[in-house]
């Protein structure tokens, strides 16, 4: 789970963005909880939520690119087709807000996750099982590092992608026949390529999240009394 925006959204879009921003603050505030806080989310739960956000972002990105293709396939662009494209762009904006908030939450709670993992290691009685758990911890560290890197790449890739979508949306709104111009054709190709790249990176994050979920599955290890 892509990645952001430049043009001035419509009033209803601004309201949605503000609401999502407020929700993001709540999410991040919860992620600042201390390891001993009973209200702090468990790693597996947090990762599951991030996985859902990434899944939604993949669907929204794919749908927006497909909608773009349908929009520029007809010159001039019919009003109903442009409205559908505008709706898909707005949905992607919404999902990108949630994705950035969840990615930040993962980065913020990364240290807490590993503190909890060390506590788990200390409670394992079987030396062999403890060694196995330590090996999993190292693998977990690698996976988290990969998720952080990919999340940053997606964030950076989303910016030009969304900027291109907004320019296309606004340009076609002002002139439904603008898709035939050379400048617009170049923007269409670039934006489409950026969208496909974002979707690829989102899919890579999804693979890493699934791998982490597998590592975090409870093992059959004897704990100290």
What share of the chain in percent tops pLDDT 70?
Answer: 67
* pLDDT surpasses 90 at 4: no
Average pLDDT for residues 128-144, to the nearest whole number?
Answer: 77
Mean pLDDT of 11-34: 35
Residue 151: inside a domain, yes or no?
A: yes
Q: What CATH number is given to the structural domain containing 57?
A: 1.20.1420
Assigned domain for 4 exists: no
pLDDT at 120: 67
With 90 as the cut, is the pLDDT of residue 87 above it? yes
In a domain, 178, yes or no: yes
* Residue position matching structure tokens 């709104």: 173
Q: Tell whether 78 is covered by a domain.
A: yes
Helix (H, G, I), strand (E, B) or coil at 122: helix
Residue 6 resides in a domain: no
Rounded to the nearest integer, the mean pLDDT of the chain is: 75
Higher pLDDT, 127 or 58: 58
pLDDT tens digits along 141-164: 888 888 888 888 888 888 899 999
Query: Would 16 be classed as within a structural domain?
Result: yes
Comparing C-alpha atoms, which of 96, 86, 53 is closest to residue 165?
86
Q: Are 76 and 173 in contact (CB under 8 A)?
A: no
Could you tell me if residue 138 is inside a domain? yes
For the chain, how many structural domains are there in total? 1
Which residues constitute the domain of residue 84? 11-215
In a domain, 5, yes or no: no
Burial degree of 11 (CB within 10 A; 0-12, 13-18, 19+)? exposed
More confident residue, 4 or 156: 156
Under 8 Å between Cβ of 86 and 181 = no
């Amino acid at each position: 789970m892509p990645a952001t925006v430049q043009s001035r959204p419509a009033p209803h879009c601004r309201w949605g963005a503000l609401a999502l921003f407020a929700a993001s603050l709540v999410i991040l505030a919860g992620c600042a909880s201390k390891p001993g806080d009973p209200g702090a989310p468990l790693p597996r739960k947090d990762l599951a939520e991030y996985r859902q956000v990434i899944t939604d972002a993949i669907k929204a990105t794919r749908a927006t690119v497909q909608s773009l293709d349908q929009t520029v396939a007809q010159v001039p662009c019919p009003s109903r087709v442009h409205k559908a494209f505008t709706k898909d762009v707005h949905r992607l904006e919404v999902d990108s807000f949630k994705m950035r908030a969840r990615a930040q939450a993962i980065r913020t709670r990364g240290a807490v996750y590993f503190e909890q993992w060390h506590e788990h290691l200390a409670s394992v009685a079987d030396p062999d099982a403890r060694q196995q758990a330590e090996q999993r911890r190292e693998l977990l560290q690698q996976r988290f590092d990969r998720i952080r890197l990919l999340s940053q790449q997606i964030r950076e890739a989303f910016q030009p992608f969304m900027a291109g979508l907004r320019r296309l949306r606004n340009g076609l709104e002002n002139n439904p026949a603008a898709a035939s111009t050379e400048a617009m054709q170049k923007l269409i190709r670039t934006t489409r390529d950026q969208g496909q790249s974002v979707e690829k990176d989102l899919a890579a994050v999804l693979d890493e999240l699934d791998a982490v979920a597998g590592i975090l599955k409870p093992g059959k290890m004897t704990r100290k009394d």
